[in-house]
């Protein structure tokens, strides 16, 4: 703010020098020496009008003029900007009975007279700018001093463009500790509180643009209030900002796989999902991931297509889901499970009676296919196969007969028959034999 001017003067028809700001209530020896000596007279006559001071009062002959030791504007002798409509003039003087003041000029006739006191509150009419008061003293014998000016600044305008934001104007939070952003023009102090209309609960502190604040209520719309004050003491109106506090997670969370069916018919299933007030959800295949992951959030929906995980051993699939609301509150993980049947591939071959043409364990045989043999190969759930079975006829290699097979998944195997002394022994090699040759003409 602007600084006032300290006024120091001694008056006496121009013959007295300025007083240098003496604070004593008694004249200094230098000031006393300016008093007229006994038997002498001042230069004004008893009938002359003091036109130099704009007054029709007559200076009294042979009477010393008032002597001013010091004149200051403001409290405690300090010159200040004020927001009031009066300003204190502090005066130390000799031979004075009154003080006259106006805010028009030294040559004005519109003087206001006040009885002499060391401190006088002087009203003025100028507003929000530089104020000049014109001051002169009236002596005990109606003598009139020189006219002096007292200059200061008036400001009664409160800080403007005031604003407060909570969490950068976020609509909702799940924390009670928030960040405030404040702005104001001309503010030197601020008052922040949770009390309505800044009624109580805060204190004035130096203005700052950013601060951390604790909300006064939870799980409701809550407000923070602020007002601002400038260096003179002008105070703004109370303003506020609001935010919704919510630390309650989405309720009634649930998930259902394939409408609750006991067994899945496909790896691709439909999930039915629900949680009250949820805006996001995250879906996982394991509980450990669901409970610890901070990613994977997608917009909330009541249905979602999901692929069950493939496994050669697990016959049950699980789905875990958690939900999150606008404030960031997360629900617990909920889950559902469903059975996953394995895929089985049956291989079929024929077995019959063998009749040796020569001695036992010879290499010429005839066979009569009288029975069917099968072998089942199990695959992971939802493995895609082009058929449910395979067949092949035995080929002969000496006294050994075998059946080679392959499938559409590049699996292969061999069924081998060893026959000797009227008995057959079978060796099954499947799947994944290192070398598999499909016999010519073997139907697959």
The rounded percent of the chain whose pLDDT value lies above 90 is 41
Q: What is the CA radius of gyration of the chain?
A: 54
pLDDT, tens only, 162-221: 999 999 999 999 999 999 999 999 999 999 999 999 999 999 999 999 999 999 999 999
Q: Given a cut of 90, is residue 363 above it in pLDDT? A: no
What's the predicted TM-score (pTM) here? 0.62
- Burial class of residue 259 (count of CB atoms within 10 Å of its CB; 0-12, 13-18, 19+): exposed
Burial 334-354 (b: 16+ CB within 10 A, else e): bbbebebeebebebebbbeeb
Q: 144-153, 167-176, 181-190, 423-432: which range is least confident on average? A: 423-432
> What is the arithmetic mean of pLDDT over 413-437?
48
Q: What backbone torsions phi and psi does residue 423 show, to the nearest 5 degrees?
A: -125, 145
Domains of the chain by start residue, with CATH: 29-154 (2.60.40.10), 160-245 (2.60.40.10), 251-339 (2.60.40), 343-429 (no CATH)
pLDDT, tens only, 34-61: 333 333 222 222 223 333 344 444 444 4
CA 426, chain centre distance (Å): 76
- Are the C-beta atoms of 207 and 189 separated by less than 8 Å? yes
Q: What backbone torsions phi and psi does residue 18 show, to the nearest 5 degrees?
A: -70, 150
Q: 63-77, 97-111, 113-127, 273-287: which range is least confident on average? A: 63-77
- Are the C-beta atoms of 83 and 129 separated by less than 8 Å? no
- Are the C-beta atoms of 174 and 329 separated by less than 8 Å? yes
* Residues 6 or more apart in contact with residue 203 via CB below 8 angstroms: 191
CA distance 208 to 394: 94
CA distance 399 to 358: 12
Q: What backbone torsions phi and psi does residue 105 show, to the nearest 5 degrees?
A: 155, 165
Strand partners, 334: 321
Q: Given a cut of 70, is residue 387 above it in pLDDT? A: no
* Residues 6 or more apart in contact with residue 404 via CB below 8 angstroms: 392, 395, 412, 413, 414, 436, 437, 438, 439, 442
Mean pLDDT of the chain: 74
Mean pLDDT is highest, among 306-315, 339-348, 354-363, 367-376, for 306-315
């Amino acid at each position: 703010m602007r600084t006032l001017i300290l006024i120091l003067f001694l008056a006496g028809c121009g013959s007295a020098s300025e007083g240098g700001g003496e604070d004593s209530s008694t004249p200094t020896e230098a000031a006393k020496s300016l008093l007229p000596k006994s038997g002498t007279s001042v230069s004004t006559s008893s009938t002359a009008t003091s036109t130099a001071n704009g007054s029709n009062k007559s200076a009294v002959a042979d009477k010393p003029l008032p002597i001013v030791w010091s004149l200051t504007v403001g409290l405690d002798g300090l010159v200040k900007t004020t927001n009031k409509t009066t300003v204190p003039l502090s005066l130390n003087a000799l031979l004075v009975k009154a003080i006259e003041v106006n805010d028009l000029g030294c040559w004005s006739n519109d003087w206001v007279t006040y009885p002499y006191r060391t401190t006088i509150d002087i009203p003025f009419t100028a507003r929000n700018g530089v104020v000049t008061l014109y001051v002169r003293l009236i002596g005990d014998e109606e003598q009139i001093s020189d006219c002096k000016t007292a200059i200061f600044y008036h400001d009664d305008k409160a800080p403007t463009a005031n604003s407060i934001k909570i969490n950068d104007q976020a609509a909702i939070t799940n924390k009670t500790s928030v960040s405030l952003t404040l702005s104001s023009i001309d503010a030197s102090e601020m008052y922040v509180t949770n009390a309505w209309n800044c009624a109580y609960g805060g204190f004035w502190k130096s203005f700052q643009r950013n601060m951390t604040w604790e909300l006064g209520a939870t799980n409701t719309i809550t407000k923070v209030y602020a007002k601002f004050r400038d260096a003179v003491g002008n105070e703004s109106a109370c303003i506020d900002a609001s935010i919704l506090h919510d630390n309650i997670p989405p309720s009634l969370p649930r998930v259902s796989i394939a409408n609750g069916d006991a067994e899945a018919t496909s790896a691709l299933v439909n999930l039915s999902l629900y949680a009250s007030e949820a805006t996001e959800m995250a879906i996982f295949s394991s509980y450990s991931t669901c409970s610890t992951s901070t990613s994977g959030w997608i917009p909330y929906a009541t249905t979602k297509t999901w692929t069950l995980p493939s496994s050669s051993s697990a016959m049950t699939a699980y789905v875990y889901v958690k939900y999150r609301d606008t404030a960031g509150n997360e629900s617990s993980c909920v889950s559902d499970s469903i059975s996953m049947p394995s895929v089985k591939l049956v291989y079929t071959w024929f077995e019959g009676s063998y009749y040796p043409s020569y001695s036992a364990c010879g290499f010429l045989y005839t066979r009569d296919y009288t029975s069917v043999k099968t072998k089942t190969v199990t695959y992971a759930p939802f493995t895609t196969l082009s058929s449910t079975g395979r067949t092949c006829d035995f080929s002969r290699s000496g006294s050994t007969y075998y059946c080679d097979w392959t499938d559409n998944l590049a699996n292969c195997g061999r069924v081998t028959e060893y026959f000797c002394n009227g008995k057959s022994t079978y060796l099954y090699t499947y799947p994944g034999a290192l070398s598999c040759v499909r016999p010519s003409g073997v139907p697959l």
